[in-house]
Amino acid sequence: MNKSLVVITGHSKGLGKALMHHYLSLDHYEVIGISRSTLDVESPKLRQVSLDLSDLDILKNELEEVFPKEDYQEIILINNAGWIGEIKPIGNMHPREMRIQVNVNLLAPMYLTNAFIKAYKNHPSRKLVCNISSGAATRPVAGWGGYCSTKAALAMFTMVANKESGSSDFRFFSLAPGIVDTEMQAEIREAAETDFPELKKFLEFKEQGELVNPEDVAKKIEYLLSNPDQFPEVSQDVRHYEIS
Ligand SMILES: NC(=O)c1ccc[n+]([C@@H]2O[C@H](COP(=O)([O-])OP(=O)(O)OC[C@H]3O[C@@H](n4cnc5c(N)ncnc54)[C@H](OP(=O)(O)O)[C@@H]3O)[C@@H](O)[C@H]2O)c1
């Protein structure tokens, strides 16, 4: 048995799409992609699941069915789906958008991590969970109240999962991907400066070519997950290591 499985949320765009293509290009990986939309990609190694991760009923009732019972050499969960949310100062945020953001950025990866451990704790495979974090998990950014908070909470959840895992064959990472050239960055650049004082800086990142390609980040994430022994800490940042 030499096949491996990677489950990627938010596979339809940006970093998740690059991760999906990268893993599909590697012979032994099967991919399950979870997003609201699906992609026109024909591959016998890809299963796309259309789910709205902000829907609490779906989180409660459907997530456990996502994980196949077959044996794999290695099983990876990458909780990548995320939403920058409404870019507004606290006091002007809308409860509906706040709830959607907490569900997508925090509750969904918590539910999925929980379901993943439950599904595979007795499997002999190597098991890895990579929760995509952000520099915003440790740095307060005006206008990003929901984003900073949900990323910080997810990073702590990942650290607790790691602490509980002890000497088991699970590994957990909270991984910051850098500033990546995706639709999320385009959404950030559309914010009003009155709501988002750092707007100019983010416009300059794009103008000065400082955003990184999602494909390059996907390769670095796959490298880390293929060589976890080189990365003993739970919290990682792709900007802190190079691959050849
Ligand atoms: N881009 C950056 O500079 C940057 C920096 C730091 C961290 N990150 C993190 O990296 C991850 C990927 O970001 P990205 O820049 O690639 O974002 P993106 O281009 O906006 O893509 C977001 C992905 O999440 C999915 N998604 C959003 N809401 C969903 C929902 N309700 N249900 C299911 N799927 C949902 C989207 O799919 P559908 O729309 O089809 O549902 C899409 O595939 C996120 O966790 C983000 O916070 C990004």
Q: Whose CA is nearest to atom 25 of ligand 1?
A: 10
* 12-34 mean pLDDT: 98
Report pLDDT for 63. Answer: 82
Mutate which of 35, 132, 151 for ligand 1 pocket (most atoms within 8 A of beta carbon) = 35
Segment 107-166, tens digit of pLDDT: 999 999 999 999 999 999 999 999 999 999 999 999 999 999 999 999 999 999 999 998
User: Ligand 1 centroid vs 122 CA: distance in angstroms?
Assistant: 31
Pocket test for ligand 1, best of 8, 11, 15 (most atoms within 8 A of CB): 15
Residue 1: the pLDDT is 65
- CA 90 to ligand 1 center in whole angstroms: 22
Name residues whose C-beta falls within 8 Å of residue 144's C-beta, 6 or more positions apart in sequence: 84, 85, 87, 136, 196
- Domains present along the chain, CATH in parentheses: 4-179+213-238 (3.40.50.720)
Residue nearest to atom 47 of ligand 1 (CA): 82
The atom of ligand 1 lying closest to the CA of 184 is 20
Q: What is the number of other CB atoms lying within 10 angstroms of the CB of residue 157?
A: 19
Q: How many CB atoms lie within 10 A of CB 199?
A: 18
Ligand 1 site, CB within 6 A: 10, 12-16, 35-37, 51-54, 80-83, 104, 132, 134, 177, 179-180, 182-185
Scanning 121-167, the segments in alpha helix (DSSP H) are 145-165
**So what's the pLDDT on residue 153?**
98
Long-range residue pairs from 44-48, CB within 8 A, at least 24 positions apart, any chain = 46/20, 48/11
Average pLDDT, stretch 96-116? Answer: 97
Q: Using pLDDT thresholds of 50, 70 and 90, give the confidence band for residue 3.
A: very high
CA distance 81 to 85: 12
What's the rounded mean pLDDT across residues 188-204? 98
Return the ligand 1 atom nearest residue 147 CA.
Answer: 47
d(CA 78, CA 112): 10
Residues constituting the chain: 244
Q: Which helix (H) or strand (E) holds 98?
A: helix 95-102
Residue 182 Cα distances to 44, 70, 115, angstroms: 27, 34, 29
Given a cut of 90, whether residue 2 has pLDDT beyond it is no
What does the pLDDT read at residue 61? 87
Task: Give me the percent of the chain exceeding a pLDDT of 70.
Answer: 100
**CA–CA–CA angle 131, 227, 211 (5° rounding):** 55
Decide if 223 is catalytic.
Answer: no
The span from the CA of 180 to the CA of 215, in Å, is 10
Q: Which of 29, 120, 147, 223 is catalytic?
A: 147
Three-state DSSP state, 5: strand
Would you call 101 helix, strand, or coil by DSSP? helix
Atom number in ligand 1 closest to CA 52: 32
Bigger pLDDT: 63 vs 215: 215
Q: What residue owns the CA closest to ligand 1's atom 2?
A: 180
